[in-house]
Structure 1
Amino acid sequence: MKKVFYSIILFVCFFTSSFAQEAVEKPAPPAGNASVGDYYGENVSDALMSKAISVGELQKDLKATSKIESVAVRGEVTNVCPKRGCWISVKTNDGASFFVKMKDYAFFVPTAVKGKNVVLEGSVERKVTSVEELKHYAKDAKKTKAEIDAINAPKEEIRFLASGIKVVN
């Protein structure tokens, strides 16, 4: 009898805790206008700002090596995660874009950063992104079901892990 009773209590606790976790809403992106001078994460120092390279230079450097540990890159934000502001895309010279995640998910950016010029500080690498991860980000970006279903192959791309992002002119 005790075993049945404890089993029921255990089941109820497990069942209610899973509902409680689902009920917790994920936070929205931070509010703000992403004005020139605003920064997210670590503030990008003036010394590093003056050494920031263009996206074109970054692409050229990544042809010679697969990873660069500490770099500052200047570019235009083309997309922002509408759910939390936990990733952005930055335009490349050929009109494509590369993906930027926030280091340790320690900070997020407002959706207002879309279309703004920024300097990113962090590390970058060429990486093969799985179909599952590509579909996850497409879903976050509110792509249509047809667009998500069309993703059927991994993709080699530039992936930036930002420790700081600063809005610039």
Structure 2
Amino acid sequence: MKQILFLTGLLFCLGATAQIKTAAKGVTYGTKTTAKGAVEVTILEEKLTTTKKFVGKVKGTITEVCEKKGCWMKLAQADGEGIMVRFKDYKFFMPQNIVGKEVVLDGFAIITTTSVEELRHYAEDAGKSKEEIAKITEPKEEIEFEAKGVLVLN
């Protein structure tokens, strides 16, 4: 009887992990989207110098993802910083293996000021050391993107 219960529990666990989509070419998270009309990150940055909000698609490479549950990620920028990407209404999350992948984000971007508290929270989520987190002492003006859909390109 114990063996039957153990095997049944094991099957449920295996079934639950099989439902997680890994970041493979062509996989979409959130609202289905395509690469058509996507602009490079540099174009997004240029547009945000003349307008308060960008609505559309952006193509880039993921450099970081929340290690706890995949609730945010960062898109590479030429200056080495990353564009903070969150997901509309937290309706979907990203797998850990999305780091290094080229993606298309569909949604909107704004320039915002992120508080020290939030920056420290993100650093903790990213697995940064206590020393690195302690070095965060000032708020930061940055681009923030809210994605309703993410398409993995490679």
Deviation at 1:115, TM superposition (A): 0.4
**Aligned to 1:72, which of 35, 46, 57?**
57
Q: Does 1:81 align with 2:66?
A: yes
Q: Distance in 2 between matches of 1:124 and 1:97?
A: 13
Deviation at 1:106, TM superposition (A): 0.5
Deviation at 1:35, TM superposition (A): 0.7
Residue deviations 1:26-51 (CA, integer Å, cap 9, x gap): xx9x834311100100111x3xx220
Q: Does 1:124 align with 2:116?
A: no
**TM-score, with structure 1 as normaliser:** 0.77
Deviation at 1:66, TM superposition (A): 2.1
Greater helix fraction, Structure 1 or Structure 2: 1
Q: Distance in 2 between matches of 1:52 and 1:168?
A: 12
Which secondary structure does the structure 2 equivalent of 1:164 belong to? strand
Task: Say whether the 8 Å CA contact 1:119–1:168 is kept in structure 2.
Answer: yes
1:165 aligned partner, one-letter code: V
Q: Which residue of 2 aligns with 1:4?
A: none
Summarize the alignment of residues 1-169 of structure 1 with structure 2, pairs less than 5 Å apart: 31-44=20-33, 46=34, 49-68=35-54, 70-169=55-154
Q: Distance in 1 between matches of 2:120 and 2:70?
A: 17
Q: Distance in 2 between matches of 1:76 and 1:126?
A: 19
Which secondary structure does the structure 2 equivalent of 1:63 belong to? coil
Deviation at 1:123, TM superposition (A): 0.8
Q: Which runs of 5+ in 1 are unaligned?
A: 1-27
Q: Which runs of 5+ in 2 are unaligned?
A: 1-16
**TM-score, with structure 2 as normaliser:** 0.85
